[in-house]
Amino acid sequence: MTEPTFAGQVSRWYEQHARDLPWREPGVSPWAILVSEVMLQQTPVARVLPAWQAWLDRWPTPAALAADSPAEAIRMWGRLGYPRRAVRLRECAVAIVERHGGDVPDRLEQLLALPGVGTYTARAVAAFAYGQRHPVVDTNVRRVVCRAVAGEPDAGPATRPADLVATEELLPVEPAAAALASAAIMELGAVVCTARSPRCGACPVEATCAWRASGQVAPAGPTRRPQRYAGTDRQVRGLLLGVLREATGPVPHQRLDQVWADDVQRARALAGLVTDGLVEPVGERAFRLIGDGPPAPVAG
């Protein structure tokens, strides 16, 4: 299997079968692509679609978001989950305005220096917004490369430097073709080469897939299961944030006490929201979303 053959086959498949997603449309701004990449982390596409459009309707540019409060970013984030992403995205917008005149930078090192932008997001924006040649590696890409090239069933829980190298070796030399191939490999992992139910008969590289040739040996370790949500601190945090998002001012402690019966767990969840920079105390017995109003008075 040669590099151009793999990239070319997957790219041709993508051009015929890719999902019609709005952030893939021609002319979509780098800011819109950056927002989509942040929202899509650990959140299904179906939930992201309406949130992404509403976000861009309100804040079509980094400058628009930077001029608003972090509390409003948290409110607009709604129930997408992992709301710290909303605060970091606003911090990213502020940095883009201050460092780059309001334009999302196109150099990888500048993208990596933005708040909340890591290895994956920086390379995704460079490739998908600016057509550059970078290995864009998420869970789906690692799975495809691990199976098709290495013949292994599972790529493991985290991206390693070796994953970037293995993916880059598959990309065409020409930047635009490489960016297309990056999107195509990711899409293949998302809709065909899935973790639990791969549709090998629909795969454009089935004939040369090393894992398919090996007989599709199952992973040696236990299958990763979705994390439990009910009864966890995550659920309590979400309930507390729900009350605070709906409020127009500080929320008395007594109101928050009604959210969850377990005093210890509720206090722990609320303290975590404060530590994460999502919520701030107002006086001794009230709380609000971070930055939701004038600075809270300092107790003297």
Per-residue pLDDT tens digits for 223-267: 556 668 888 999 999 999 999 999 988 999 999 999 999 999 999
List, for residues 28-41, the tens digit of each pLDDT value: 999 999 999 999 99
Q: Within a domain: residue 52?
A: no
Handedness of CA 139, 170, 135, 130 (dihedral sign): negative
Predicted local confidence at residue 72, as pLDDT? 97
Residue 5 parent element (H or E)? helix 3-17
Beta bridge partners of residue 287, listed in sequence order = 251, 281
Q: Within a domain: residue 280?
A: yes
Predicted TM-score (pTM) of the model is 0.91
Predicted local confidence at residue 118, as pLDDT? 95
How many Cα atoms occupy the beta-carbon half-sphere of 57 within 13 Å? 7
Q: Within a domain: residue 152?
A: no
Predicted local confidence at residue 3, as pLDDT? 45
**Annotated catalytic residue, options 3, 15, 25, 37:** 37
What is the residue whose two structure tokens read 């999502």?
A: 278
Rg (CA), the chain: 22
> Contact at 8 Å (CB) between 69 and 291?
yes
DSSP 201: G
The segments of the chain whose pLDDT lies below 70 read 1-4, 218-227, 295-300
Predicted local confidence at residue 248, as pLDDT? 86
> Contact at 8 Å (CB) between 273 and 240?
yes
Our count of domains for the chain comes to 1
Predicted local confidence at residue 154, as pLDDT? 84
Range(s) of the domain holding residue 274: 233-289
Predicted local confidence at residue 225, as pLDDT? 63
Q: Within a domain: residue 104?
A: no
Give the CATH number of the domain where residue 247 resides.
1.10.10.10
In total, the chain counts a number of residues equal to 300
Tokens of 300: 């003297």
Q: Within a domain: residue 268?
A: yes
How are beta strands 286-289 and 251-252 bridged, if at all?
antiparallel
Q: Within a domain: residue 137?
A: no
Q: Within a domain: residue 21?
A: no
Query: Cα–Cα distance between 48 and 65 in angstroms, integer?
Result: 18
284 catalytic, yes or no?
A: no
Predicted local confidence at residue 216, as pLDDT? 81
**Residue 27 CB coordination number (10 Å):** 5
Q: Within a domain: residue 272?
A: yes
